[in-house]
Chains A and B, each alone.
Chain A
Amino acid sequence: MKGLTLRNLHKTYFDPAVGTKVTAVQDVSLEIRPGEFVAVVGPSGCGKSTILNMVAGFLPATKGDIIVGDRAVKGPGRDRGVVFQNFALLPWKTVIDNVGFGLKMRGIPKPERDRVAREFLALAGLSHAADRYPNELSGGMQQRVGVVRALANEPDVLLMDEPFASVDAQTRMTLQEELTRIWQERPHTVLFITHDVGEAVFLADRVVVLSKGRVLREIDVPIARPRVWDAVSEQDDFKRLSFEVLQMVRAA
């Protein structure tokens, strides 16, 4: 498990619709300790997805450094696992082959790959779906596969791009609870992007509020773990923090 450091990240690009250069991310620095769960919230267009895409290596940063552990990184790699909003499961591979994909890339032979994949599928309660194709599964199940696929590859850091935005509200709450449960069993350094304030406070150790490409504030979330919605939603701490963050996001 390694820490993730973002140092003075900048992103500017030419927007053909507007006709000029646009600054999406402005001098963002962030320090995530090993094993810490950090959520970044902000209104649409505040640059949070851009930051995640830069950290994942899908977009080049205009300026600044991304450091995993003690090494600067560029371009995608298995040290930074990604969970996508639209799941991004390979439709032509079964669930178990999707989960084992990262292992396959490392040259691990099939029996071993399948063993590890099944272990992780069991963790997410998906053992029965191992031989199905993604299009046969519901959205919630597909995203579970997405999470488990990233975890099975043992990344140093886990990046999650609004992973629950494409499922219905009920499923979302279930997935959030499952995520904290899995995360407690298998701790990882996590950078989690969302526009849902309640989700951020529920999941994270620390919430970072982003506005117009800049960090507005960082807020610690001292709520005890394990966290379940029934209990947490009643707690004063949760209500207070959620309210605070929401005000900040709305004013941004």
Chain B
Amino acid sequence: MTAILDALSRYSHFATRRPTLAAFVPFVPVVGIWWAVAAMEVVPRAFFPGPLEVAQGFASLTYKGILPAYLEDSVGRLAVGAAFGIALGIPLGLVVGFNQAMRRALWPVLLFFQAIGDIAWLPLLLIWFGFGLTTMTFVIVYTVIFPVVFNTALGVRSVPRDLVRAAQSLGAPKWRIVAEVILPGALPNIMTGLRNGLGYGWRALIAAEIIVGTSGIGFMMFDARRAGSAVEIVLGMIVLGLLWYAVDAWILAPIERATGQRWGLVTKA
């Protein structure tokens, strides 16, 4: 028992020293277990493929150019939707953050529309715009915009008043205060909003691709499901997981931390 505890204690020290490496270590036994379970064929192979089959699927789909094409489609849609969402969300968030009256008027409306959720809009969007890019972009923009607006507003309101006063007493005009004090001060929260928004955004993307279904990773997964083939489904999930993990853990989280993440879980809208 003490031997196990010692080993665990040493592992935790190792993990603190080498966090990047420690992030990968646990997956090795998991893949091993996966392989073993798949090999035992408790469930038919068609329903539960092993890691080798998935790897083969990856290789063949990449070679045929299908996977890269779908990936490009998905990522492209997400990027476009996110860009619009941010471009609209930050200014709206600033307005709501600054103006008490606007906040009182808009906040409940925003909350209600966020509560409806992006997916629930699909039927209406399909009637309006059909099965195309506009529908999908709308869904993603709709998803991304709310966390961005809420967190930007929160960020604006949590800039310490003394900072604004200091800038005023140093003779800064209003627009400069916004640019040099408010925006940087709100930046940590804006990053949180962005991170949240993208988190919801890619999920909305997958759902939209499944339902609207023309191309993309979501489409690939659901199409495979219709054909009864689990390999592409699992492959899609792994690709999505890795992609989002990479973006979130190695791009977004460090930026959020670097901009001086202060509040952690409390002030998330």
What 0/1 pattern do residues 11 to 27 of B give for CB contact below 8 A with A?
00100110000000000
Which of B11-57 touch A at CB < 8 Å? 13, 16-17
Q: Interface size of A by Cβ–Cβ distance < 8 Å?
A: 2
CA distance A16 to B14 in the complex (A): 9
CA distance A14 to B13 in the complex (A): 10
Q: Interface size of B by Cβ–Cβ distance < 8 Å?
A: 3
Contacts of B16 in A (CB 8 A): 16
Residue of A nearest to B18 (CB): A16
Chain B interface mostly:
helix
CA distance A14 to B12 in the complex (A): 13
- Report the 4 A-B pairs with minimum CB-CB distance, sorted nearest first: A16-B17, A16-B13, A16-B16, A14-B13
CA distance A87 to B16 in the complex (A): 27
Which of A1-23 touch B at CB < 8 Å? 14, 16
A-side residues, CB < 8 A to B, are: 14, 16
Residue of B nearest to A16 (CB): B17
B-side residues, CB < 8 A to A, are: 13, 16-17
Contacts of A14 in B (CB 8 A): 13
Q: Smallest Cβ distance from A89 to chain B, in angstroms?
A: 20
* 4 A-B pairs (CB sep. < 8 Å): A14-B13, A16-B13, A16-B16, A16-B17
Residue of B nearest to A17 (CB): B17
Contacts of B17 in A (CB 8 A): 16
CA distance A14 to B9 in the complex (A): 12
CA distance A16 to B19 in the complex (A): 13
Q: Smallest Cβ distance from B55 to chain A, in angstroms?
A: 36
CA distance A234 to B17 in the complex (A): 52
Residue of A nearest to B14 (CB): A16
CA distance A14 to B17 in the complex (A): 12
CA distance A16 to B13 in the complex (A): 8
Residue of A nearest to B10 (CB): A14
CA distance A128 to B17 in the complex (A): 47
Q: Smallest Cβ distance from A53 to chain B, in angstroms?
A: 16
Q: Smallest Cβ distance from B74 to chain A, in angstroms?
A: 41
